[in-house]
Amino acid sequence: MTDQPTILIIDDELQIRRLLEITLSANSFNVVASSTGKKGLVDAATHHPVLIILDLGLPDIDGQEMLKDLRRWYSRPIIILSVRDSEDEIIRALDNGANDYLTKPFRGGELLARIRAAIRLNENRNDLPIAEFGSITLDMVNHSVYKNGELLKLTSTEYSLLCLFVKNRGRVLTHQYILKEVWGYGYLQQTQYLRVFVAQLRKKIEENPSKPTLLTTESGIGYRFVD
């Protein structure tokens, strides 16, 4: 029995499964592969993977529905790997709980980097009440934020935004998801409202707000907090 972390691939393309199996096995992962959604659900429950790579174009279950089914009980990272490249499809997948989204054809190095980042962030999330990134320290116990050791004055909304980003660091958050979590369902269309607050937050936490390195923009989709 292997002690290597297991990654589950759910994809109906044999060539893709074989390519992923070779790439992941060569990088110290144990691989389980499923060609249908139904088998994938069973394999996810029985093999306890640290991460799932999911194709949206499955023969028996729509990938978006599959994603929602998994998210009812599976809390570890899910990366979408699909030929579907429309902005609406990507946003929908992220809103349905995907941690990341890559389109086919893909670069093996980039996929491996995103896999490692997603696993690392999942292992470290919410493990400490104090988070440090760059010159910023976020103390979630005392609701305080420091930059280079000096207390930052954030509004309650800016603080809520920062906490949401930090707790989901590494994950792409859509505009609608952020608006729902911070302001509520009545603000789902207020993307310009969100941009104003993100700009204000960047001015306070970024070394160069015009070239942000912590809070990055995913064009047309949302934002990603890069730790």
CB atoms within 10 A of CB 85: 11
Token pair 């972390």 is found at 5
pLDDT tens digit string along 120-130?
877 765 555 78
Distance CA 53, CA 59 (A): 16
Q: Do domains 6-124 and 130-225 have the same CATH topology?
A: no
Distance CA 224, CA 171 (A): 6
Distance CA 5, CA 199 (A): 39
Bridge pairing between strands 100-103 and 78-82? parallel
DSSP element (H, E) containing 45: helix 37-47
pLDDT of residue 70: 93
DSSP states of 50-103 as a string?
SEEEE-SB-SSSBHHHHHHHHHTT--S-EEEEES---HHHHHHHHHTT-SEEEE
Architecture of domain 130-225: Orthogonal Bundle (1.10)
End-to-end CA distance of the chain: 34
Sign of CA dihedral 20, 7, 131, 145: positive
What dotted CATH number matches 6-124? 3.40.50.2300
Q: In this structure, what token pair is assigned to residue 196?
A: 């104003």
Contact 187, 179 (CB under 8 A): yes
Question: What residue ranges do the domains of the chain occupy?
Answer: 6-124, 130-225
Backbone φ, ψ for residue 46 (5° rounding)? -95, -30
The model carries a pTM of 0.68
HSE, CB side, 13 Å, CA atoms: give it for residue 30: 10
pLDDT of residue 1: 44
**Along the 227 residues of the chain, how does pLDDT read in single tens digits?**
457 999 999 999 999 999 999 999 999 999 999 999 999 999 999 999 999 999 999 999 999 999 999 988 888 899 999 998 888 899 899 988 898 999 888 888 889 988 998 888 777 655 557 888 888 999 887 788 999 989 998 888 899 899 999 988 888 999 999 998 888 878 888 888 899 999 999 999 999 999 999 999 998 899 999 87
